[in-house]
Structure 1
């Protein structure tokens, strides 16, 4: 059930305590990929994972702005502080829990959200408000995960798969030529850079030319299958061990 399409009485009558919340970011993804890449990919994985899951689950609207100040120099990027993000996500989950959705999987598409989401899940769970678990799709794609950059092969591939009209194909070479090979500027195991402009001319990390739509389909299958498996585990878990009342 998609919450945006349901009525309040539909929600009242549904027979599940499990909800999926996509979480992304509105930020630069190079000259070729849309600012909404992290939202689009999180939603696509959430929808595909829910479809594979053989039980009822509520899918909420996406949270579209995250912890993304590292891209602040690129026009169109939006961000909030980690404190604001944690509060917003936490209160959103608490509102779901007030209606009986005490098990929540946060499907994330942005690396900058990872630490904050883990903290949110722990706080909600330990306080007994809800059993909340974050899931980041690009960590769940097997060997492909090693190619994760920013606006690089994985994100470009998945957007080419789920929203091909939004990829500016005539800018792919430009995106590749201005890309960094890796995230950050490392010395003695320490990243000296705080913002992406310090190491990437156009905000891209990795070669987007290596991310075609066929690879995107494989990524979607891997990530959604992993999500469906996680949903099963969360649905079956004795959440009382984790603080749920």
Structure 2
């Protein structure tokens, strides 16, 4: 169910039948010269649309958290970076609010790699409050499966670009973009390092992306995501509610 369009009576009714909420989390940042700045929001939003069709009677679809933490790409125009501390505190307060409303299963659907360490802190704190969480970082969790369809994934690479094209072909392009390989392991960190790691704010073979590949990715990952959500519910049953 879409929380944004529910009224109070509908929300109260939903509380009686479900204790699971999904919070989409993204980022506004540079995604190469070719992908929308809102790529990390658009992709989770599309997954939510599809999940609404599949499991909407069992999951509350919360409004998305649009801004996140992107230290690595903060040097690029179009990146709106929120500090890790502010971001984690904000998400924690949102989740605490859902917990106070009786939602003891919280799914964090994260579209941006820079958010991961902050979300790890959030989910540890929530676990201490007896809230079960599932964090979905689709680009990591299903990476080997992704590479079967888009062999050269990356930040605004073949996978992300394909997923955006499958949403709307006006939100990305591939002609002349080419491919980029990260020259250093990400464990090296230095001022404005993102400019070295991602000279054009992307990695992977973006030019190989197609909308058709994007649709294949959505269909493949939807099955895996639904399986993971069902595992969360199975964990709840094993814990006795």
- TM-score w.r.t. length of structure 1: 0.87
Q: Distance in 2 between matches of 1:117 and 1:240?
A: 25
Q: Distance in 1 between matches of 2:89 and 2:195?
A: 28
Structure 2's unaligned 5+ residue stretches are none
What secondary structure, in the 3-state scheme, does the structure 2 residue paired with 1:4 have?
helix
Question: Residues 185 and 142 from structure 1, CA distance in 2 versus in 1: closer, same or farther, beyond 3 angstroms?
Answer: closer
Q: Distance in 2 between matches of 1:157 and 1:240?
A: 38
Is contact 1:141-1:219 (8 Å) kept?
Answer: no
Q: Partner of 2:199 in structure 1?
A: 201
RCO comparison, higher one (Cα < 8 Å, 6+):
1
Q: Where do 4+ consecutive residues of structure 1 move more than 6 Å?
A: none
What secondary structure, in the 3-state scheme, does the structure 2 residue paired with 1:19 have?
strand
| Match status 1:221 vs 2:219 | yes
Structure 1's unaligned 5+ residue stretches are none
| Match status 1:172 vs 2:175 | yes
- Cα deviations by residue, 1:198-222 (Å, 9 ceiling, x for unpaired): 1332111111111111110111112
Is contact 1:46-1:227 (8 Å) kept?
Answer: no
Q: Post-superposition shift, 1:163?
A: 2.3
Question: Residues 161 and 3 from structure 1, CA distance in 2 versus in 1: closer, same or farther, beyond 3 angstroms?
Answer: same
Q: Partner of 2:5 in structure 1?
A: 5
- TM-score w.r.t. length of structure 2: 0.88
Q: Post-superposition shift, 1:240?
A: 8.6
Q: Partner of 1:148 in structure 2?
A: 153
Q: Partner of 2:98 in structure 1?
A: 96
Within the candidate set 188, 194, 197, 1:191 is matched to 188
Q: Distance in 2 between matches of 1:156 and 1:131?
A: 32
Alignment of 1:102-117 (within 5 A): 102-117=104-119
Q: Distance in 1 between matches of 2:51 and 2:89?
A: 26
Q: Post-superposition shift, 1:55?
A: 4.6
Q: Distance in 2 between matches of 1:114 and 1:37?
A: 17
Question: Residues 202 and 54 from structure 1, CA distance in 2 versus in 1: closer, same or farther, beyond 3 angstroms?
Answer: closer
Aligned residue pairs, count: 234
Q: Partner of 1:163 in structure 2?
A: 168
Q: Distance in 1 between matches of 2:234 and 2:56?
A: 13
